[in-house]
Each structure stands twice: as structure tokens, then as C-alpha cells.
Structure 1
Amino acid sequence: LLEAKSRLEMSTKLEQLLTPSEYDEVVKRLQILHMLDQGIPQRKIAETLGVGIATVSRGARARKDRL
């Protein structure tokens, strides 16, 4: 993964490494972080992405820990 030089290459490597459902989960979690960074409310994120509020809250905690 560290050798990937583009988004496409990273995506291809992740698709080879993960099952389709794992890949989709990673994508959703990255979307959660991106939406949190944009200031979108947690409940709106959960509704938009079709995930539970606990999943969004977990992302918010991870985001807070990385800052």
C-alpha cells in the first residue's frame, strides 16, 4: 500500500487485499471522516450514508484522537 503512487493504484491494491464488503466499509468510514471534517452533523451523516449513529460516533472519536 505504501508503494501506491496514485488514488487509482491505492484503490486497486485495496480491492485486491479486501473482500468487497470490507472495501465498501473502508470507503464509508473514509466518507464519514470527510463529512465530519466538513462540519456535517453526525445524524445527517448516518442518514446520508445509511450507517448507524454509533458508526459515525466512532469515526468522530477517531477524528478527535488524531487531532
Structure 2
Amino acid sequence: MDTKIKNISSLVNYLLARTNPEEMEQSLNELLTASELDEIVNRLQIIKMLKKGIPQRKIAEELGVGIATVTRGSNALKKSREKK
């Protein structure tokens, strides 16, 4: 198994072992810096907005992020859809 995949799998299993939202939040705060957590929250918002069909420029404006960040999210979403 690829080391990167094994490490992601380990992270996923670690997070899935949390039994409630409070434990999950605590684990995320232990694993990530405040800025990393903010970035992940933004990326989640970007994906949700893209799935709703909101234009990339509007997403960038509303979230205060660069268009490149939104495009990266769009490309990731397209890749995940291609794998299905």
C-alpha cells in the first residue's frame, strides 16, 4: 500500500473513532493550527457552493478567497466525480 494512502487511512480511522461532535472538534483542534482549520472550513464551503451551482467568482467574493482557491476546489470536485 502506498505510504500516503496508508497515512490518510490512518487519519480517517482516527477521526471516525470520535463518538460525538465535541470529540471531533477537540481532535481537529489538536491536529490542526487555527489557520489550517480555517482553510479546511473555507474549502468545505467552496465545495458546497460549487455543488449548488454558484459561480466561482461569486464564491471567491463571498468567502474572501482568491479565484485560484475556488478553481482548485472546482478541479478537485471534478476529479472526484470522474472517479465514480
Normalised to the residue count of structure 2, the TM-score between the two structures is: 0.73
How many matched pairs?
A: 67
Specify every segment of 5 or more residues in structure 2 that has no aligned partner in the other structure, as ranges.
Answer: 1-14
Specify every segment of 5 or more residues in structure 1 that has no aligned partner in the other structure, as ranges.
Answer: none
Q: Which residue of 2 aligns with 1:16?
A: 30
| Structure with a larger share of its residues in helix | 2
* 1:13 Cα deviation after fit: 1.3
Task: Indicate yes or no: 2:53 matched with 1:39.
Answer: yes
Distance 1:44 1:11, change over 3 A: same
The answer to which structure, 1 or 2, has the higher relative contact order (CA under 8 A, 6+ apart) is 1
Ranges of 4+ aligned residues in structure 1 off by more than 4 Å = none
Distance 1:6 1:60, change over 3 A: farther
What RMSD in Å do the two structures reach over aligned CA positions? 1.2
SS in 2 for 1:14: helix
Aligned-residue identity in percent: 60
* 1:12 Cα deviation after fit: 2.3
Q: Distance in 2 between matches of 1:12 and 1:59?
A: 26
* 1:11 Cα deviation after fit: 2.5
Q: Distance in 2 between matches of 1:35 and 1:7?
A: 23
